[in-house]
Amino acid sequence: MKAAALVRTKGALAALVAGWRRKGLSVGFVPTMGALHAGHAELVRRAARENDRVVVSVFVNPKQFGPNEDYGRYPRALPADRRLVSAAGAAAVYAPSADEMYPKGFTTHVEVEGLSDLYCGKYRPGHFRGVATVVLKLFNRVRPDRAYFGEKDWQQVRVLETMVRDLDVPVEIVRVPTVREGDGLALSSRNAYLSADQRAAAPALRRALEAGRQEHRRPHSRPETVAAAVRASLAKSPSRSSTPPSSRAGCSSPPTSERPGSLTTSLSK
């Protein structure tokens, strides 16, 4: 296994990618915050199948954390991350510092209005502004043909798809199905925070979303009946979610191609 090149600066990254482009090679991109797991490895493998070279970024982005969130204790494990993505087929790991990404005097931000304030965004004000800002900067530095995101972070993917569409960013967003534990819990770097009791209760959310999906498939289902099915399933569990699942699609005005309930359907995949 050849280790992925470790790149720290935008100048070095630009030179590396320019060399690939001169050879006519395509570039895939997987942005991450590190503490990588099998779900990230699947993103890299998919990117490696569909592109000649793959860049993985590892950057814990301070702009997407609220004042009382876990920026300081978010797990950081760059050597292990580099080994994992190298084995999955990455050619380079871009691991910039915060000063490299946000130099002194940085004042510009990107915000997808409306969608960023729903669901998770309602409870984490400014989170998706931070996500959109850092991802656009990374797109400008890597200049990939395709970028790969897990469907687990469904609202994030919708925010970034909207940003790319609205700002004419020449990148194809590729959704990759969620990778799960045997009991249905989606793999996440933050699963390490769960206590034994919380870990045992966590799969109840997947079961609730699956109940919502089954209701959504009924010919005459409505947003209210989908939401009721989700809540009824959750009521059977000792766990409680701080963000009750919604049965509306992931934007203030759902696309006509998405029936009510598509948020629940997507999240339960």
What is the set of active-site residues? 40
Q: Bridge-partner residues for 92, per DSSP?
A: 5, 55
> Length of the chain in residues, anyone?
269
Which uninterrupted H or E stretch holds 147?
A: strand 146-150
Which uninterrupted H or E stretch holds 47?
A: helix 38-50
Specify the 3-state DSSP secondary structure of 189. helix
- Contact predicate 246/227, CB 8 Å: yes
Specify the 3-state DSSP secondary structure of 146. strand
Q: Which amino acid is at 114?
A: G
Q: Which of 265, 231, 228 is nearest to 249 (CA)?
A: 265
- Contact predicate 239/204, CB 8 Å: yes
Within the chain, what is the greatest distance between any pair of CA atoms? 59
3-state helix, strand and coil shares in percent for the chain, rounded to the nearest 5: 50, 10, 40
DSSP assignment of 192-255 equals GG--HHHHHHTHHHHHHHHHHHHHHHSTT--HHHHHHHHHHHHHTSS---SSPPP-S-SSSS--
